[in-house]
Structures are given as structure tokens and as C-alpha cells.
Structure 1
Amino acid sequence: MKRHLLSAADLARDEASRVLDTAEEMLGIAERPIKKLPTLRGRTVVNLFFEDSTRTRISFEAAAKRLSADVITFSAKGSSVSKGESLKDTALTLQAMGADAVVIRHHSSGAPHRLAGAGWTNGAVINAGDGTHEHPTQALLDAFTMRRHLGDLAGKNVTIVGDVLHSRVARSNALLLHTLGAHVTLVAPPTLLPVGVEHWPVETSYRLDDSLEKADAVMMLRVQRERMNASYFPSAREYSRRYGLDTARMDRLPEHAIVMHPGPMNRGMEITADVADSGRSVIVEQVTNGVAVRMAVLYLLVGGATTEEGPA
């Protein structure tokens, strides 16, 4: 793998497959009596979060600790950042502490690229979500979950539904799934599709019902109210009626199809409670798989893995 993981587009097909194969082995660690590997003993992983997060932060913490790394979690709230310290000064401080990897979530798109390219840190930089840009490890765990249920993703049809405009998850999934050979359809109101989406390696549609019968996986995106500063649709009820996944729509999916959501969910809006809790839902499994995938990323970037063999 490359030195950093900043975008899903950074991964060639063989590199993405290697991460997923490594994650398959990491998943077995959770079944051991002692759920740890010594791979990153003596290494320091810093979680640098300028934006609120629960799932991603805890997932990276669990992944690093299961690899025996020392973990420092840095939250912007209550830190010197809230007093005006810049990203550069924060990064230089962490470098002075000997950070071997910096996992960064930032509200500004491009912040991880800036951190990686400016020479402020010698460690690997992993993008844990930047603005409305990308979230590559989420795309990897989504692909990992799909592969476990659907097999090889080449030729599979994946439908991603909802607030594509504000979703870094949608962008990263579109790029990674295309790399892995899947066909991606983005379904959203016209107001929630970004400018330039016609240049993405996807098809687009304004009608969810047209995309159900052929879908091998349906991923519902959260309506990100905190990122919205205008009315992108008439009402929550109208959005749910046209783009929400309920039991009637789920029943139109092929028998093998799975239902996904990156979380957290707005139950009753983009997905109903009965669908979220159904046997087709793999939403809780995505959380479990997230730890294994992030272990794989840290192992490959920080652990110095240079062979094709998996972890011991």
C-alpha cells in the first residue's frame, strides 16, 4: 500500500483486495480468547478528531488497541484548537510526541491531504472523514461486508440512496466499488446530487422504485441535517415517502440482497425500524467489520507489512 490512505481512489484493485483479505483474517482475532496481536507494539496511533464522532473514533481506537498500539485520542473540543491553534501547530505537537500514524477527521474537505503533503508529520495519515469529501475506511468496511454476503463484487449492482450531496460515504463507495468492478446507482432527489456527478463512475436516478429489482445491495444514507443550510426537499414526510426504505420496498429486492446503512440512522425517515432490524439488514455487522477493516489498514500502513502473507 501507499504511505497514506486519503481517498478511496488511492487504492488500486489489488491493493483494495489485499486490505479486504487482511481484514478477513483480522476478523478472526475477535474470536480468540485474547483478542490482540503484538504487531504495533511500541507504535503510537493518534486519533485527531476535529469533528464529533462516536462510531468511527471508537472503531479506530479498538482497532489500534487490538494491534497493541499506544493510542492517543485528541478531540478539538476542550483542546488548544478551541483556543485558536492551527492544524499545523497541532500536527507538529503530535509529531514531537512520536506519532506513527494520525487518524484525522476534519470538518474541512482536503484537511487530511494538507496534513499528509505539508511535511508536518512523519507518520502515516489516514482519512477518517473530511467535510463532504471522502471517508475511505467506511467504503472499505462496506465493501468487506458486501463481499462476505455476495462474494466477488465484480458485476454486482449496488444502489446508494439519499443525501449524496453531503455524503463523503457515497463518494468513497462510488470510487471503491467501481475499482472492485461493481455497478453503482445513486438515487436521490435532484437537489441532493452534487454538481459534476455525471463524471463519477456511476449511474444516477431520481426514482428509488426503478432500482430495486436488480439491486444486490441497497445502502441508505443518513439525511445529514447538520450539513444542510437550505431546504433540499419539501418535508421529512415527503422524503420518506419517495426515498425511504420500508417493508414494501424491501420485499421487492432479490432474495439474496442485503440492506446497509453507514449510521447513525434516522429511523422512520430514510429507513423504517422494521427494515433496520430485519434479517436482511447487515447494519450491526458493518460496525463489527469496521474494526477488522481498520485493523487491516493500520497493520498494512504502520506495521511494515511487505509480503503477501497475512498477519500471524
Structure 2
Amino acid sequence: MVKNAPSPRKAAVAPSSRKRPTPLTERRSNAGDASAERLSPNTTWQRRHLLDLDDFSAAEIAVVLDTADAMKEVLARDVPRVPALRGKTIVTLFYEASTRTRASFELAGKVLGADVINVSVAGSSVQKGEALLDTIRTIQAIGADVCILRHHSSGAPYLAARESTFRVINAGDGGHAHPTQALLDAYTLRSKLGDLRGRKIVIVGDIAHSRVARSNMWSLTTLGAEVVLCGPPTLLPAGLNGAAPDAEERDLPPVRVEHDLDVAIEGADAVMALRLQRERQSGGLLPSLREYARLYQVNAERMAMAKPGALVLHPGPINEGVEISTEVAHGSRSVVEEQVANGVAVRMAVLYLLLRGEQP
């Protein structure tokens, strides 16, 4: 989890020393503008897996987003089907419930012409006690080219990648990472705001337990955005205060922390609210949902403090009236439905790059 657990990458497949990519904001003098970096002939896709975004460069993220642009054109056709991945087999293996992620990956694979097999954990040998590693070996034996894995344990996709020959996409592992959600969020923001360098993005809610928040911290700071975390102290990563001086030690990028949403949201270009898990109240981390909504709900009054036209994002599902007011959730600033739609194009891009190893 974000709160205390070490990075699964370090525990599973990491080299003994890891150098972080320099955020785009720190490379301005050398890299030129963002478009020049995106079009650099030196930027090639060399990854076999998508496990996390903590070591991605701005150029690599841009390759995914640019490829998603091409995939969005495919989706806009009268018959949105191409044979790009014909003959490839994709297996989705979800140990946790999912609607958006699983459905969009399935559609992404089918649009690209792949065969998609959904393994239902409830009806599989997992219910009989089969270990993850044995399930992975079974998936390899049937000839899968890629496995899209969601698991309640942080680091599970790293184990799958290490112990198999197929490609692995992390669809969410514990409280650690959800890279494709962060990529589709970045894609949505870029499509609306353009270059994200210098843009102020506020993430508010249960950040300590959110894999979405952690992946977004990495992708957005790498693309040059200013990321501000906001929430009650009990729902923020332990030890992060002020300018988050120990962020590197906790496997997090440099971010700003505010406990007052009215302060955090001032001048924001976008606000991302996170789903509040109701068990946090019973666990003593919150006094009440009503008190949380009073202090941290993204509503029209607070959005008036952000920049004109500031965007509202949410990874879903939304607890309307808690983390976001109904008015804002369905208002003109909300891009929640666009996030869902963009998820298909972004996941098509990821599948294409992993299985073809090139941009279209």
C-alpha cells in the first residue's frame, strides 16, 4: 500500500539501484517543448510489461498517449475493427471486482482483432484454493500472449511477469499501482488542457490507500504538472506534510500536501476526487461521511475557487453527495464519462505497443 509498504518493484524484479526519470519540468532547457520530445526518433517502445509508471519518462508516456490518438480514430469509424492483433490471445484475470477496467480492456482487445478470454475467479480453480503462481502457469500453458491482472496483493503482477513468458499488464495491485487508469487520466487532461507542464492538478480524498492516486502522482509529475494532495491527515500517506520532504524515501514523487481543500483548490486547472471507501469510517479514520463531505467534497462553491473551466475527474465509481456533489458530477466541468471512453483508446494503445512493439 502507499502508506507503509515498500515498492513491489523493489521487492520483486527491480535492479539493485534505480534511477528515477527526470520530470519534464526539470528538463526544459535540454528537451525543448513537449511536442519535440514526443516526436524524437530516439523514443522507441522497449517494454515487455506495464507494471507501474514510476520509472517511465515523459517521452514514453507521450508514446502511449500519441498511440491512443490513433486508436481513437479507429474507434470513431463506422466499423471500429482492425486486424492489428489478429492471432494474439489476451487473458483477463481479475481477483477483485471491476466494471470499467475489465470491460474496456475486453473491448480494446476485440477492436484490435485479438481473442479475449475472461477468467472468472469465482468460477475457476482459484475458488478451490489454487495459488496465483499455479494459475499463471496454466495461463501460460494455454498460449496466452498477454495477461491483464488485477489482484488484492501489491506486487502480484511483478510475480506474474517474473515467472512467465507472456506480457503482463497491471490492472491494479492492492494499494500500489493502477497504471492504465493514470494513463487515461493523463490522456483526458492532455486532450482538454494541452501541455501539462505547469498545470496545477489537485488530488483529493483517500490518498493513503489509493493505487490510482499513486500512479497519477508519478505520471503527472513526470509530465511536468504541479500535483497537490489534499485530504484529512488520516487518509494521507504517513509522514507526508508540507512539501513532502520524505517522498523519495516512501517511493513517491515530489508533491505538495494541503489539508484544507479551499486552499488546495485555489487556481487549480483540474481536480481529481477519489472514491471514499466506506469502511474507512468504521475503521476510525473518519468521524463521519457527513463531516468528510463538509470538509472535502468537490462542489460548485469550491470549484468556483479553481480556474475558470477547471476540470473535474473521478476514477469511479462515484459516491455522489460524498466526494463529489451531484451537481458537479453531472455538470459541464465533469469529464468522468470522457475518462471512461478514453480508457478504451488508451488500453488499445497499451496492448498494441506491448504486442507489436511499435507505434502505428
Same-fold status (TM-score > 0.5):
yes
Helix, strand or coil: the match of 2:123?
coil
Report the TM-score, using the length of structure 1 for normalisation: 0.95
> Of the candidates 152, 171, 187, which is equivalent to residue 230 of structure 2?
187
Choose the corresponding residue for 1:43, options 82, 88, 95: 88
Percent of counterpart pairs with the same letter? 56
Provide the C-alpha distance between the structure 2 equivalents of 1:158 and 1:128, rounded to a whole number of angstroms.
23
C-alpha separation in 2, matches of 1:160 and 1:47: 29
SS of the residue corresponding to residue 77 of structure 1 reads helix
Matched, 1:22 2:67: yes
Q: Are 1:166 and 1:224, in contact at CA under 8 Å, matched by a contact in 2? A: no
- Of stretches 2-11 and 54-63 in structure 1, the one that deviates more from structure 2 is 2-11
Which of the numbers 134, 157, 171 marks the counterpart of 2:177? 134
The match for 2:262 is 209
Q: Could you say which residue in structure 1 is the equivalent of 2:113? A: 68
What does residue 201 of structure 2 align with?
158
Q: Aligned partners of 1:108, 1:229: CA distance in 2, in Å? A: 22
- Residue type at the aligned position of 2:66: D
Check if 1:264 corresponds to 2:317.
Answer: yes
Distance 1:196 1:93 in 2: 42
Letter in 1 for 2:328: V
Q: Deviations over 1:150-200 (max 9, x none)?
A: 000111110000000110000000011111111100001000012254303
Contact 1:161 1:219 in 2 (8 A): yes
Match of 1:87 in 2: 132
Deviations 1:31-54 (A, max 9, x none): 101101211100001101011111
- Unpaired segments of 5 or more residues in structure 2? 1-44
* Counterparts of 1:82 and 1:65, CA distance in 2: 28
Structure 1 position 13, deviation (Å)? 1.1
Taking structure 1 as reference, are residues 227 and 233 closer, same or farther at Cα in structure 2, changes over 3 Å only? closer
Residues 109-258 of structure 1 aligned to structure 2 (within 5 Å): 109-117=154-162, 119=163, 121-197=164-240, 198=244, 199=247, 200=252, 201-225=254-278, 230-258=283-311
Q: Report the Cα distance in structure 2 between the residues aligned to 1:280 and 1:37, rounded to whole angstroms.
A: 33
Moved more, 248-257 or 85-94: 248-257
Alignment check: 8 A CA contact 1:247 1:275 kept: yes
Normalising by structure 2, report the TM-score: 0.83
In structure 1, give the amino acid aligned to 2:92. Answer: N
Contact 2:281 2:288 in 1 (8 A): no
Q: Distance in 2 between matches of 1:225 and 1:76?
A: 24
Higher mean C-alpha displacement, 88-97 vs 9-18: 9-18
Deviation at 1:29, TM superposition (A): 1.2
- In the TM superposition, residue 227 of structure 1 has moved relative to its aligned partner by 7.0
Q: Contact 1:161–1:218 at 8 Å: present in 2 too?
A: yes
1:296 paired residue number? 349
Q: Are the aligned partners of 1:50 and 1:107 in contact in 2 as well (CA < 8 Å)?
A: yes
- Measured on the aligned residues, the alpha-carbon RMSD in Å equals 1.2
Distance verdict in 2 for CA 1:173–1:35, change over 3 Å: same
Q: Secondary structure in 1 aligned to 2:117?
A: strand
Three-state SS of the structure 2 residue aligned to 1:105 is strand
Paired AA for residue 54 in structure 1: T
Decide whether the 8 Å contact of 1:220 with 1:260 is kept in 2: yes
**1:279 is aligned with what amino acid?**
S
Structure 1 position 30, deviation (Å): 1.5
Q: Which amino acid aligns with 1:110?
A: G
Which of 267-276 and 190-199 deviates more? 190-199
In structure 2, what is the Cα distance between the partners aligned to 1:5 and 1:59?
16
Instruction: For residue 226 of structure 1, report the CA deviation from its aligned partner.
Output: 5.1
Q: Please list the CA deviations of residues 202-261 of structure 1 after superposition, one character each: whole Å capped at 9, or x if unmatched.
A: 111101000222211100000023577612110000000000011111222211310000
Cα distance, 1:10 vs structure 2: 3.3
Does structure 2 retain, via aligned residues, the 8 Å contact 1:49–1:76?
Answer: yes
Task: Provide the secondary structure at the position in 2 that maps to 1:34.
Answer: coil
Partner of 1:32: 77
Give structure 1 regions of 4+ aligned residues with deviation exceeding 3 angstroms: 226-229
SS in 1 for 2:122: coil
- Deviation per CA, 1:111-134: give whole Å up to 9, x if none: 0011112x2x21110000000110
Residue 303 (structure 1) shift:
2.0
Equivalent residue in structure 2 for 1:277, among 321, 330, 333: 330
Residues 260 and 283 in structure 1, CA contact (< 8 A), matched pair in contact too: yes
Aligned pairs, number: 305
